[in-house]
Chain A
Amino acid sequence: MSVLLGIELHGNCIRLQAVDRKGTRLALLEEPVSVPFERWWGTHPDERVRSVRALLQHALQEGHIRPASIAAIGFSCEPSLVLVDAEMEPIPPRALDWQHLDPSDSSPEQVLRNTLARFPSILRGLHSVMDLQDWLRYRWTGAVATSSTFAWHSGLSSHSSPAQRFDPVALQQVGLESGQLPPLMPGPHRVGTLQEDLVTDTGLPRGTWVCAGTSPRAARLWLAAEPTPGQGIVLLEPGGATLWRVGEAPDAGASCEEVIPAPYGDHWYHREAIEVADPRRGETPLSDVVHDAAEIDPAQSWNPDAGSMMVSADFGAASRAPALLAGVGLGWFRDLRPLWRKRCKTVALEHWLDQVAASSGSSDMETREQT
């Protein structure tokens, strides 16, 4: 058992990656979804569970991944919200009128507050509040837990130790009791092992660990560069280039948009600037930062001044972080420094371009039909 499985629920698709002990990507499968994960309120959580399971089964049946080799599964998922009733079933989003949510006012924190204020009767029979990756993990393992990502994005974590524990006062304000929040785990921590039905259906080994998970952005930032204090990372996203910097825990009142916790919760990423020099548009890149991007247009031309531009190991590709975080949870990488310095080290843009040129034509990625 030497392979880690990473599942990323982000944007318009589900990504499944198999990564070995050395961090080498063995397989990458993508499946588009009809409702993007940012619009988490538009789909029943079990619909997502079915889609992920279908992709996993496809990957295993088609031989993209050898089931017996899997040691652990890690997640990254857009911040979202699932309300679970007393019978351990999710309350359907349509039953809470979430289909009429205004996308501009749809942070999990806001939706949770509004929903509980509008339907106070659901509090009586509410078992727990979690996010989509927690629900997926519960369906697969039967273990109820949540991650520091949810604690932060739900706005229910305490000011003194943000994302580390829930704040009883904040819970009381929305009408929740501490028992209605699942135990809080750092992103890489092992939460539970796969249930028997999944083992039987997929052939995955009994005892395969499933880890807590984090958000896709936190995962990208975590793997992009070694998190030394003050390290800058420029994320090149479709909307523009944003500068993030590694820092300490935020002050009370910091917004979820501007600060995000690292998967382990040991450091934070602070958004320092929204619009910075974007080398994709020919602008001279910032110095002393690492650039990271999930997608890069193959026809993209680069400014010759970009010679000194440093890019992450997963520049222009899906992040291996969800899978590698599962390995961290297993204790495979006790000292994390070699991960950033050796296995997934940053490289100069020229070096990356050479690598892309060398590997063009050989792709291990498969895309399935939309679900």
Chain B
Amino acid sequence: MKSSTTLKDQLPSRFRGTIQGAAIGSALGFPYSGSSRTFMRALGSEVLQGYVRHRNGYYPVGQHGAGVQMLSLAADAISHAGAVDPEQIVEHWIPLWRENRIIERLPDVDVAMSRWLRRGTEARGCACGPGENGSGSLVSSILIGLWDHDSPDALVDDCERLIGVTHEDTEVRAVCAALASIIGHNLTHHDVVLGDVIDGATAAAARIDTSVPRRIQEIPMLLAASEAEAFEKLAGSEEEISDVEHSGVENRALPIFLVALHSWLRSPSDPLEVMGSCLHSGGAVEMTAAVGGALVGSCVGEECFPSRLIEGLLERDEITSSADRLYQRQVQERRRRNA
């Protein structure tokens, strides 16, 4: 993908594209969250036609999931503090639980946030422990890719700060660092170079965990394999036998990330193709499509998303403003650093 404008000119659009992409993917998948892979594949291209009402009828059309709700608030916290400050992030997130405004229950994040709520923001270590490898905080980590795209040395440490609010599990932390590094790579490169993307993600994850880098390195080989074969390998677990072919992606950070990354690498500049592939994977479709949307959005910017999807998004203005504020504060901080 080549562009006539410079990367610097494209940055505001890519910031918006990343966050809007996550929100669009989440909103497309939210009504179908938990649906089987068989069901999602049967829907075909219908899932991309537009937003539909959630089956329980309580949510308006275009509603995104709780992951994007947290993403938007974390973006505000970073913009406000001018840094990735866990205390600020907790302060921005806590009202969601205190006032019961969280859109849906995220079991892993709920545990951690309930502790923060009980003990206050000055407490140390309320994150859920090793073994809790849910995907609740996965989408928030894209903010680190945006914030640290020009300072990769700080990326993993900042990601640890953000994800450390809710998760101690090394697998989750490594996955989030890998996702952030890919977003950062997309913001600093015109083209997607497979080797660079995989190497960057592997290096970031390897600072935290040993098994996640191995799984990421499998992806290039699976790009040539059939979609079904690749899906089975990426969504399946090394330790457990599960029926992913029917049930879809488990609600764990690692398979969600691997499936979304694979979907994006197959068509890096086609948002509908990427999100369609993520939605057809079934299971945790909301989170998978959100990650896929963020990856493609960071690569192509907001212009490449169909306008009907951007306009139909609930709280579109708030989401866009969050992205803009984050971009402006990032520029401000960069100038301050360079001064």
Contacts and interface: CB of A to CB of B under 8 A. Distances in A.
B119 A44 contact: no
Contacts, number: 42
Nearest to B132: A46
A58 to B, nearest CB: 11
Interface of A: 34, 44, 46-47, 50, 85, 87, 89-92, 94-96, 119, 121-122, 125, 370
Nearest to A122: B124
12 contacts: A44-B129, A44-B168, A47-B170, A50-B130, A91-B124, A91-B125, A92-B125, A92-B164, A94-B160, A94-B164, A96-B125, A121-B124
Contacts of B124: 91, 95-96, 119, 121-122
B43 interface: no
B115 interface: yes
Interface in B123-181: 123-125, 127, 129-131, 160, 164, 168, 170
A119 B160 CA distance: 20
B210 interface: yes
Contacts of B170: 47
B127 A95 contact: yes
Contacts of B122: 121
A90 B125 CA distance: 8
Interface string B95-134: 0000000000000000000010001001111010111000
A201 B228 CA distance: 33
B237 to A, nearest CB: 14
B124 to A, nearest CB: 4
Contact of B164 (A50, A95, A370): A95
Nearest to A51: B130
A125 B123 contact: yes
A44 B160 CA distance: 14
Contact of B131 (A34, A46, A94, A95): A46
A370 B127 contact: no
A91 B119 CA distance: 13
B210 A34 contact: yes
A34 B170 CA distance: 12
A119 B122 CA distance: 10
Given A46-B130, A47-B170, 11 more contacts: A44-B130, A50-B130, A89-B125, A92-B125, A92-B129, A92-B164, A95-B124, A95-B127, A96-B125, A121-B122, A370-B210
Contacts of A95: 124-125, 127, 164
A122 B124 CA distance: 7
Main secondary structure of the interface of B (DSSP, over half): loop
Contacts of A119: 124
A87 B115 CA distance: 9
B125 A85 contact: yes
B156 to A, nearest CB: 12
Nearest to A94: B164
Interface string B193-236: 00000000000000000100000000000000000000000000
A118 B123 CA distance: 13
Contacts of A122: 124
A194 B28 CA distance: 47
Given A95-B124, A96-B124, A370-B210, A125 B131 contact: no
B85 to A, nearest CB: 14
Interface in B254-278: none
Nearest to B210: A34
- Nearest first, the 9 closest Cβ-Cβ pairs linking A and B are A95-B125, A92-B125, A95-B124, A47-B130, A91-B125, A46-B129, A46-B130, A92-B168, A44-B168
Nearest to B170: A47
A90 B164 CA distance: 14
Contacts of A87: 115
Given A94-B160, A95-B124, A96-B125, A125 B210 contact: no
Contact of B127 (A34, A47, A92, A125): A92
Contacts of B123: 125
A46 B127 CA distance: 12
Contacts of A34: 210
A41 B115 CA distance: 23
Nearest to B131: A50
A193 to B, nearest CB: 23
Contacts of A121: 122, 124
